[in-house]
Amino acid sequence: MMLKAVLCSVGLMLAVPASAADFKVGYVNTERVYREAAPAVNAQKKLEKEFAAREADLKRLAAKGKELEAGIARNKVPEAERKAMERDLAATEREYAAKMRDFRDDLNQRRNEEFASVQERANRIIKTIADREQYDVILQDVVYVSPKHDITGKVLKELEK
């Protein structure tokens, strides 16, 4: 749907060469905004801090699983102890898988929440720049755009305020 609108806009620009010179296009690299903008960096740090304990618990479980695997592989333990280690390993693997799934789900949900506010703020800034500098269209997520149309730096500068 969005692609059709962009293609129609481009088609109109090509069809009307006289007014195409007046047509002002801008581009914002969303990925760069999420990577470099202060609010995005702060959101990422906040998420890392929030999920650090759970990540450490997952690392602990992974280390326990490797330790159990190594103990089983040695084959120098009595059969009863070996079976107990295998059960413990299976339980550890199940626990790890469940916690990892929950961790990823929760992290993705929180990341979406945190970055939604960054995106909302960036969109307001983009609209302000478009009005102030009289852009006809500002694009995001394109395959190629000439660097002369890239206004990402302006958006990043405004996000720093």
Q: What does each C-alpha distance from 103 to 49, 139, 157 come to in angstroms?
A: 14, 34, 34
CA 129 to chain centre: 25
Full-model pTM: 0.69
List, in order of start, the domains of the chain with CATH numbers: 11-160 (3.30.910.20)
Q: What is the pLDDT of residues 103-113, one digit of tens each?
A: 999 999 999 99
pLDDT digits (tens, 9 = 90+) for 88-146: 999 999 999 999 999 999 999 999 999 999 999 999 999 999 999 999 999 988 888 88
Between helix 152-160 and helix 38-73 the angle, nearest 10°, is 90
Question: Contacts for 49-57 with beta carbons within 8 Å, 24 or more apart?
Answer: 50/110, 51/103, 51/106, 51/107, 51/110, 54/99, 54/103, 54/106, 55/103, 57/99
DSSP H helices in 16-151: 17-20, 30-36, 38-73, 79-133
